[in-house]
Amino acid sequence: MLSAALSYAALGWPVCRGAAPSGAGGRACGCDRVGCPDPGAHPVSATWGLEATTDPEVITRWWSAASGANVILPTGRVFDVFDVPAGAGVMALARMGRAGVQAGPVAAVDAQRYLFFVATRSPADEDEWWSCHLDCVPESIEETPGLRWHCRDSYVLGAPSLLPSGNPVAWIRAPETGDASGAPALPDPIVVLDVLSDACEEFVPS
Q: Which residue did the predictor score with more confidence, 149 or 137?
A: 149
pLDDT at 195 over 90: yes
Please answer whether residues 62 and 9 qualify as being in contact, where contact means their C-beta atoms are separated by less than 8 angstroms: no
pLDDT digits (tens, 9 = 90+) for 73-91: 999 899 999 999 999 999 9
- Answer whether residue 92 shows pLDDT above 60: yes
Residue 31 has pLDDT above 50, yes or no: yes
Q: Does the pLDDT value for residue 3 go beyond 80?
A: yes
Model pTM score: 0.87
DSSP structure class, residue 40: T
Question: What is d(CA 180, CA 34) in angstroms, rounded to the nearest whole number?
Answer: 46
Distance separating alpha carbons of residues 58 and 53, to the nearest angstrom = 8
Among 83, 74, 142, smallest CA distance to 92 is for 83
